[in-house]
């Protein structure tokens, strides 16, 4: 059996690892091994995460590791997972003469989660002290962390509903616990992460109180102090100077799209140390805390290295301006419109040799998941521009809905209980804005997205073809009962508690309604459950003026207004090895579309994961170009 997640102790005297579902340690001096747990099996995992924890709580960077050394190297905290009641999902690989089957304990929305216990193993005795939680409750435990003196383990806990967060300090001596922190919010709460630790407590960013993120100091004794105000979002804490009382952090505070470096002093004053008109990344604070370095850019300005002071806004470029021929590359411009009182952001690129007297087709890139923006105004961001569109006479736009984060908690909260529903109204607002532009061919707007973006794309193409002529949906969730408990229920509650919300948010549920209902004339607002129509846009970049005319309808090839998707207008792709969003989703959507008599395109990538790599990625890219050529350029 393979040793997994070999992790050295802080004093380097030992390494810890898991083997066969059990936790072990090995001496670095003589390679002697000590087994700390003895009940590991296919369903009992000590120190090795169950899939839903790996994907949604610890993150894929954890590589399933679910054990943590104490600072004094005398103990190891670990989670024990019991997968006995967790349903098994099979993933078949066609490779090899007989193929192979991978069985994953994957709890889908409404199903049974793994049972988890929190233990602390003492290396001197080999005994485990179990934390005093009620393990019969339906709950989650977040990533724990140690007190500086190794005497307590801090364990975050949420009920399955995920609308409360408690932090407990667990005694390593007897497993008793004391509550250090409690947080509640009407929709959902996030786990605490990226803290800055001190001897007395830690700094953290939370968004439960003001509608935006704020910085707090939480003492180990449970005292809590809020340190900031204002419209902060996407805070990352970098450094704290306990003697001077200064904190350095990055956030989107003076700009909704640009990350800026800030200094917070002991009097609560916040000073921007970089230009809010530029996006900062790769920032580092010097060891003495007096200077910083980083890189700034926009989608129109290549990255340049900068250095500056950490006490005031005093920085300069330290690398020459790149010798980049900007005319040979897309130039994404920031666009903002309003819908239902929310500011919506996008980056739009015009094609090479743009002629304002022509009318161009459009490709819209989107995602739509709560708190997950796709509009990043930085140099050559993955989704900010598209070279094929630039070279082939297609306008490209990546846009966000209200729930992506730029509107704080208020915008995100609108997605609760009905994911993809309010987002559709915002994407329709973008389509209406595009159709109002004199240089856009409003009958040729294509849309594409992957994962949550695949879900949104399929919804838009099937339900609103008067706005979206065609689309490519990759790796999408087409029935939210088919995705994992932790992510889905955070935003939707369980299917048992919210059956109407799941039906409204499920693409597969909409298929019979799309193809059996009588086609309706008029705008999207005439459709059952359609979002409200967009308000007039209030701002656009200079390259994208707003027309006073209303939105144009989309037209089929014969000139008739299109109220059902044209045959073949939807392309579906999925990797058959995807352990995150199972290709079961695409198979069942295919079945629903076949029952409805609708013709569509589909491409499966054998053993492809959640995102296509290598030759599969190249194939997908070429197929996408052929699809846009067929539907937007001919």
Span 363-384, mean pLDDT?
96
CA distance 328 to 21: 55
Enumerate residues 6+ apart whose C-beta is below 8 A from 131.
117, 118, 119, 120, 153, 155, 168, 170, 175, 177
Span 458-482, mean pLDDT?
98
- Burial class (CB within 10 angstroms; exposed 0-12, middle 13-18, buried 19+) of 289: middle
Length of the chain: 634
* pLDDT of 330: 97
The per-residue pLDDT for range 26-73, each reduced to its tens digit, is: 999 999 999 999 999 999 999 999 999 999 999 999 999 999 999 999
CA distance 22 to 8: 17
Torsion angle (degrees, nearest 10) of CA 235, 237, 241, 244 = 0
CA distance 426 to 586: 25
Span 574-587, mean pLDDT?
98
Per-chain mean pLDDT for the chain: 93
Q: Identify whether the C-beta of residue 335 lies closer than 8 Å to the C-beta of residue 406.
A: no
pLDDT at 545 over 50: no
In three-state secondary structure terms, 77 is strand
pLDDT at 180 over 90: yes
Q: What is the distance of C-alpha 371 from the center of its chain?
A: 7
- Angstrom CA distances, 296 to 176, 279, 318, 324, 365, stand at 49, 5, 11, 16, 24
Q: Identify whether the C-beta of residue 316 lies closer than 8 Å to the C-beta of residue 308.
A: yes
CA distance 474 to 488: 18
With CA atoms as reference, report the closest residue to 379 among 303, 493, 463, 490: 303
Q: Identify whether the C-beta of residue 148 lies closer than 8 Å to the C-beta of residue 195.
A: no
Percent over 90 (pLDDT), the chain: 91
CA distance 426 to 456: 11
With CA atoms as reference, report the closest residue to 552 among 452, 438, 408: 438
pLDDT at 346 over 50: yes
Span 483-502, mean pLDDT?
98
Q: Identify whether the C-beta of residue 437 lies closer than 8 Å to the C-beta of residue 445.
A: no
CA distance 65 to 54: 8
Q: Identify whether the C-beta of residue 485 lies closer than 8 Å to the C-beta of residue 108.
A: yes
Span 460-481, mean pLDDT?
98
With CA atoms as reference, report the closest residue to 488 among 356, 369, 610, 385: 369
The per-residue pLDDT for range 431-444, each reduced to its tens digit, is: 999 999 999 999 99
Span 204-225, mean pLDDT?
97
CA distance 197 to 200: 8
Enumerate residues 6+ apart whose C-beta is below 8 A from 172.
70, 75, 120, 122, 129, 150, 151, 152, 153
Q: Identify whether the C-beta of residue 322 lies closer than 8 Å to the C-beta of residue 304.
A: yes
- Give the H or E element holding residue 219: strand 214-219
pLDDT at 571 over 60: yes
CA distance 335 to 405: 16
Q: What is the separation, in whole angstroms, between the first and last Cα of the chain? A: 57
CA distance 100 to 98: 7
With CA atoms as reference, report the closest residue to 447 among 331, 346, 566, 569: 569
Secondary structure of 167-181 as H, E, C letters? EEEEECCCCCEEEEE
User: Concatenated DSSP letters for 442-467?
Assistant: EEEEEEEEETHHHHHHHHHHHH-TTT
Q: Identify whether the C-beta of residue 278 lies closer than 8 Å to the C-beta of residue 296.
A: yes
- Angstrom CA distances, 194 to 177, 235, 443, 630, stand at 23, 10, 46, 47
Span 327-349, mean pLDDT?
97
pLDDT at 548 over 50: no
Q: Identify whether the C-beta of residue 330 lies closer than 8 Å to the C-beta of residue 385.
A: yes
- Residue given tokens 């000139």 in the structure block: 559
Q: Identify whether the C-beta of residue 122 lies closer than 8 Å to the C-beta of residue 78.
A: no
Ordered by where they begin, the domains of the chain are 1-189 (2.140.10.30), 326-633 (3.40.50.1820)
- Give the H or E element holding residue 306: strand 301-309
- Predicted confidence band of residue 562 (pLDDT cuts 50, 70, 90): low
- Predicted confidence band of residue 527 (pLDDT cuts 50, 70, 90): very low
- Predicted confidence band of residue 517 (pLDDT cuts 50, 70, 90): confident
CA distance 86 to 545: 54
* pLDDT of 593: 98
pLDDT at 577 over 70: yes
In three-state secondary structure terms, 266 is coil
- Predicted confidence band of residue 551 (pLDDT cuts 50, 70, 90): very low
The sign of the torsion formed by the CA atoms of 496, 502, 506, 508 equals positive
Q: Largest alpha-carbon pair distance within the chain?
A: 80
Higher-pLDDT residue of 557, 575: 575
Q: Identify whether the C-beta of residue 91 lies closer than 8 Å to the C-beta of residue 577.
A: yes
* pLDDT of 563: 80
Percent over 70 (pLDDT), the chain: 93
CA distance 349 to 364: 11
Tokens of 150: 């190794």
Higher-pLDDT residue of 559, 472: 472
* pLDDT of 518: 65
Q: What 8-state DSSP symbol labels residue 401? A: -
Q: Identify whether the C-beta of residue 461 lies closer than 8 Å to the C-beta of residue 473.
A: yes
């Amino acid at each position: 059996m393979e040793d997994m997640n070999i992790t050295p102790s802080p004093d380097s005297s030992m390494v810890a690892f898991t083997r066969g579902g059990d936790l072990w340690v090995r001496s670095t001096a003589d390679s002697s091994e000590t087994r700390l747990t003895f009940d590991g099996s296919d369903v009992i995992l000590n120190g090795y995460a169950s899939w839903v924890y790996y994907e949604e709580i610890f993150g894929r960077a954890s590589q399933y590791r679910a054990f943590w050394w104490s600072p004094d190297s005398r103990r190891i905290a670990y989670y024990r997972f019991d997968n006995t009641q967790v349903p098994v999902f099979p993933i078949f690989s066609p490779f090899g003469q007989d193929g192979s089957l991978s069985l994953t304990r994957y709890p889908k929305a409404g199903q049974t989660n793994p049972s988890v216990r929190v233990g602390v193993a003492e290396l001197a005795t080999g005994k485990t002290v179990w934390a005093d939680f009620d393990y019969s409750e339906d709950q989650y435990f977040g990533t724990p962390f140690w007190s500086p003196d190794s005497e307590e383990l801090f364990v975050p806990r949420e009920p399955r509903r995920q609308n409360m967060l408690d932090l407990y300090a667990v005694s390593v001596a007897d497993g008793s616990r004391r509550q250090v922190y409690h947080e509640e919010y009407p929709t959902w709460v996030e786990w605490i992460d990226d803290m800055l630790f001190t001897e007395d407590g830690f700094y953290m960013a939370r968004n439960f109180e003001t509608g935006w993120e704020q910085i707090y100091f939480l003492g180990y004794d449970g005292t809590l102090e809020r340190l900031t105000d204002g419209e902060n979002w996407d805070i990352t804490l970098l450094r704290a100077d306990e003697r001077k009382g200064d904190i350095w952090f990055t956030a989107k505070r003076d700009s909704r799209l640009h990350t800026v470096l800030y200094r917070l002093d002991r009097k609560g004053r916040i000073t921007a140390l970089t230009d809010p008109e530029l996006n900062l990344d790769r920032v580092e604070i010097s060891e003495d805390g007096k200077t910083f370095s980083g890189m700034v850019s926009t989608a129109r300005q290549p990255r340049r290295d900068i250095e500056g002071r950490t006490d005031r806004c005093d920085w300069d470029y330290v690398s020459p301006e790149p010798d980049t021929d900007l005319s040979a590359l897309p130039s994404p411009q920031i666009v903002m419109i309003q819908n239902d009182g929310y500011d919506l952001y996008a980056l739009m690129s015009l094609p090479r040799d743009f002629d304002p007297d022509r009318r161009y087709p459009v490709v819209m890139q989107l995602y739509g998941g709560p708190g997950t923006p796709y509009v990043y105004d930085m140099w050559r961001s993955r989704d900010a521009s598209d070279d094929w569109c630039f070279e082939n006479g297609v306008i490209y736009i990546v846009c966000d809905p209200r729930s992506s984060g730029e509107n704080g908690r208020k915008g995100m909260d609108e997605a609760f209980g009905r994911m993809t529903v309010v987002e559709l109204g915002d994407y329709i607002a973008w389509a209406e804005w595009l159709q109002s532009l004199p240089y856009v061919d409003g009958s040729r707007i294509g849309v594409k997205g992957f994962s949550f973006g695949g879900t949104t794309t399929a919804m838009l193409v099937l339900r609103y073809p008067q706005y979206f002529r065609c689309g490519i949906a990759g790796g999408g969730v087409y029935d939210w009962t088919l995705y994992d408990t932790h992510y889905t229920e955070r935003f939707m509650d369980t299917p048992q508690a919210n059956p109407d919300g799941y039906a409204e948010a499920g693409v597969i549920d909409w298929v019979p309604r799309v193809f059996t209902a009588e086609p309706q004339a008029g705008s999207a607002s005439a459709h059952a459950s359609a979002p409200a129509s967009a308000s007039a846009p209030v701002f656009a970049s200079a390259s994208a003026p707003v027309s006073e005319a209303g939105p144009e309808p989309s037209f089929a090839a014969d000139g008739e207004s299109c109220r059902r998707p044209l045959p073949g207008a939807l392309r579906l792709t999925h990797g058959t090895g995807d352990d995150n969003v199972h290709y079961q989703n695409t198979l069942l959507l295919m079945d629903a579309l076949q029952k409805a008599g609708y013709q569509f395109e589909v491409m499966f990538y054998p053993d492809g994961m959640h995102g296509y790599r290598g030759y599969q990625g190249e194939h997908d890219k070429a197929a996408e170009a052929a699809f846009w050529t067929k539907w937007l350029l001919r």
